[in-house]
Amino acid sequence: MITLGIECTAHTLSVGISKNERILSNAIDTYSGGKEGLIPRKLADHHANIFAKILQQSLEDAKTSMEKVDLIAFSQGPGIGAPLSLGISGAKFLASYYGKEIIGVNHPYAHAEIGKHCAKMKDPLVVYLSGGNSQLLVQEGEFYHVLGETLDIGIGNLFDSFARSIKLEKANGAELSKLAEGGKYTELPYTVKGMNLVFSGLQTAAEKAAQKHNKKDAAYSLMETAFAMTCEITERALFLTQKKEILVCGGVAQNRRLQEMLKAMCEEDNVRFGVAPDEYNRDNGAMIAYAGWLLYRKYGPMKIENCIPVTSYRIDRMKEIFG
């Protein structure tokens, strides 16, 4: 079965194609907002301008055509309203015009499932870390429970906001990581509540530290503190659940320092550590195609009238939609 997956929740428009569990293509284009950050209308404009090009590229890379596609999968949320609506309209148009079946996919579910697939894991404790989300997930049947999460902002947004406050040319986590290299640690607020995280105090203190000390030390200390907090709640959840595998996924999972810290923890606790290649941790259409195929096999297609954006679509609400 050939599935075409469309990712459109935020700054990335991507079209990926899978044949059953095999990924055939993954065309990706990410809008860089620069210093002004992500303005919803500009994201939607970007996605509209490149939709046809990315679709064409993905079909060519997969050596297939729209006629051969069986299922259109789209990212249904959580996400930013304007780009999400644009992507879903594109998915609905393709499904209607070419007479294909359609299914909506929860974005974090897709990150977790493609991660499991790449790392060859069956039942891991999932550490999902992205711009808007930071969650510890465990699966029961097809659906996930949230064991712990950020109580304010996502870890990726923490990095982006801090990068903007110190006026980095490109305000994102990857650029912040480069700046942090070789920095010295200064103490910052560390707030963990059980298996939950709180980042806002850390952000404010890091911004003050950047003025008092220097940007490099503040960036290094911010990232080290946020990652240490993440490791602490992950280890607590590991002891509670007695899982034998830990999978980290989502955009922030690409960070090598975070991977190193989680890996060291896994070695100490004698559990397997897994992470997908970067291409599948950044936002991408291949994960939507793969996850759409998984859901379609169990639950069949969605009615076109139910294909609407769900901007605050939590992973633990999937049961309401599919159950």
Q: Provide the minimum distance between the beta carbon of 148 and Fe ion in the complex, in angstroms, as a whole number.
A: 19
Residue 2 structure tokens: 């050939």
Q: Please, which residue, 218 or 294, has the CB nearer to Fe ion?
A: 294
Q: Provide the minimum distance between the beta carbon of 202 and Fe ion in the complex, in angstroms, as a whole number.
A: 22
Using CA atoms, how far apart are residues 198 and 196, in angstroms rounded to an integer? Answer: 7
> Please, what sign has the CA dihedral across residues 53, 59, 65, 67?
negative
Q: Provide the minimum distance between the beta carbon of 310 and Fe ion in the complex, in angstroms, as a whole number.
A: 15
Closest C-alpha to 9, from 74, 79, 72:
79
Q: Please, which residue, 205 or 253, has the CB nearer to Fe ion?
A: 253
The site for Fe ion (CB under 5 A) is made up of 130, 283
Q: Provide the minimum distance between the beta carbon of 297 and Fe ion in the complex, in angstroms, as a whole number.
A: 23
Q: Please, which residue, 90 or 154, has the CB nearer to Fe ion?
A: 154
Q: Please, which residue, 217 or 283, has the CB nearer to Fe ion?
A: 283
Q: Cα 159 to the chain's mean position, in Å?
A: 15
| Category of 259 on φ-ψ map: left (φ > 0), alpha (ψ -120 to 50) or beta | alpha
Using CA atoms, how far apart are residues 78 and 59, in angstroms rounded to an integer? Answer: 26
Between helices 215-241 and 155-165, what is the axis angle to 10°? 170
Q: Please, which residue, 148 or 156, has the CB nearer to Fe ion?
A: 156
Q: Provide the minimum distance between the beta carbon of 281 and Fe ion in the complex, in angstroms, as a whole number.
A: 8
